[in-house]
Amino acid sequence: MADVVVYTMTGCPHCAALKEFLKENGVSYLERDVAASDEALAEFRKLGFRGTPATVVGDRSVVGFDKEKVAELLGI
């Protein structure tokens, strides 16, 4: 599986739900908190995202937490 990067924001309930979903499915990921890191925020904006969570796998992405779309993106 390609590397997984998840852009989150502290206090975001959808971000917490996504992280729990990934954990339940044994998916390793790199978390980038856009509220805690200027570097993460710059990456997030450069990729054109406007909302969290944003999940990136290779050159594909899903914004928001939609279990079906995230599962499809991850091939699970």
Angle at 56 (CA atoms; ends 53, 58), nearest 5 degrees: 175
Which pLDDT value is given to residue 2?
58
The per-residue pLDDT for range 48-65, each reduced to its tens digit, is 999 999 999 989 999 999
Q: pTM of this prediction? A: 0.93
Cβ contacts of 60 within 8 Å, gap of 6 or more: 73
Instruction: Write out the two tokens for 18.
Output: 């996504």
Q: Which of 25, 3, 37, 57 is nearest to 17 (CA)?
A: 25
Q: Which domains does the chain have, with CATH numbers?
A: 4-74 (3.40.30.10)
Place of tokens 């054109």: 48
